[in-house]
Amino acid sequence: MEHKTGAAEDEAAASLEPRAEPTARFPSIRTSKHGAPSEGAAISDRFDTAEVFKRVLVAADEEIGTPARELFFSGLAAGFSITLTVLLYSTLTAATNGDPILGAILYPIGFIYIILGGYNLYTEDTLPPVALVLERLASFPALFRVWGTVLTANFIGGGFGALLLSTTGVLSPEAAAAATEISLKGLEIPFADLFFKALVAGFIVAGVVWLNFTARSVTSRFLLTYAAFLCIPLGNLYHVVVSFTELTYLTIGGQTAFVPGFFGFVVPVILGNTVGGAILVTVVNYFQTTERRLKMARGGAHRQLSMSEMLFGGLVGRSYVPVNQSHDPAEADGRNGNPDHG
């Protein structure tokens, strides 16, 4: 039997020695300029809950500090994009003689435009700003400013879309009849049933937002958005901006009165979408993140709002504490004092 000598013996001996521990548990993680991780710590192409939460916080930090004018026009574009959903849903429903699957196959197209285009949709905005409020980095008035601005803009955009569909030849007579039939179904559903249908839809939409923060490519986001939003028509669920567009379409066509339709149809859908998005997704995902991971996700932000500031915002102090705070106190105070922050 041949004996190992020289370098071979040294190599064999080295292989039996315990390996030296690395200086850090994980290598340094790349982050965006605002502090969001661009890769996972344990597995580079997968984010854990705390890392996803950090990405949500950073996105919300950017959004809640956006001037109202920018929020409004982004929301306007999102509301008008929903016209594509109503148009194609009605057209394909008419073309397929009411087939529930083929008629709904292009329903998600408006939402794909919105999410991949980075527009602001009310149901999409139920998640990131709520995460800041839970962390006491943003006040309720700052949250309501974002929600109110975006929802108003979504409604105006959807209203213009309904006007386009109602008063021009974009819809064929058959598609127009299908749009009327689809829209009238929502008015016939009791308030409580609408609320719970919308709650499930809100859960789906906000879940898409959360999961999009785990996706690393446009293709992944496209497929995720398409599959999730297809569940809304197939599950006979309701989305608030689609519902408002349908109500406006019916009102312009003389099929219903706007005010009773708004309170009997749109309001329960608003409430359901909000509860489903803000509570069933945001809060559940927040509380499954351990305190140790939350500290990591905050990225060192420690100057949280007081309870009175969180409830009343700028009336009693601050409305917003940036996630990525400046080391310069004067600069940080300048950001906190921005009137656009609520």
CATH assignment of the domain containing 233: 1.20.1080.10
Residue 13 lies in a domain: no
Report CA-CA distances (Å) from 332 to 17, 320, 328: 51, 11, 6
Domain interval for residue 113: 49-297
Average pLDDT over residues 106-113: 96
Give me 140's structure tokens: 């309720």
Least confident of 129-138, 200-209, 323-332: 323-332
CA atoms of 342 and 332, how far apart (whole Å): 16
Q: Tell whether 61 is covered by a domain.
A: yes
pLDDT on residue 187: 95
pTM metric for this prediction: 0.80
What percentage of the chain carries pLDDT values higher than 70?
A: 76
R_g of the chain computed on alpha carbons: 25
Return the structure tokens found at 56: 């949500």
Determine, yes or no, domain membership for 331: no
How many other C-beta atoms lie within 10 A of the C-beta of residue 177? 14
**CB half-sphere exposure, 115, CA atoms < 13 A:** 29
Per-residue confidence band for 325, with pLDDT thresholds at 50, 70 and 90: low
Residue 22 has what pLDDT? 42
Give the model's confidence band at 20: pLDDT under 50 very low, under 70 low, under 90 confident, else very high.
Answer: very low
User: Could you tell me if residue 250 is inside a domain?
Assistant: yes
Q: In angstroms, how far is CA 241 from the centroid of its own chain?
A: 14
Percent of the chain exceeding pLDDT 90 equals 54
Residue 82 lies in a domain: yes
Return all residues near 241 (Cβ < 8 A) that are at least 6 apart. Answer: 78, 79, 82, 121, 122, 123, 154, 155, 158
In a domain? residue 9? no
Take residue 214 and report the two structure tokens written for it: 């785990």
Domain count, the chain: 1
| pLDDT above 50 (res 200) | yes
pLDDT, mean over the chain: 82
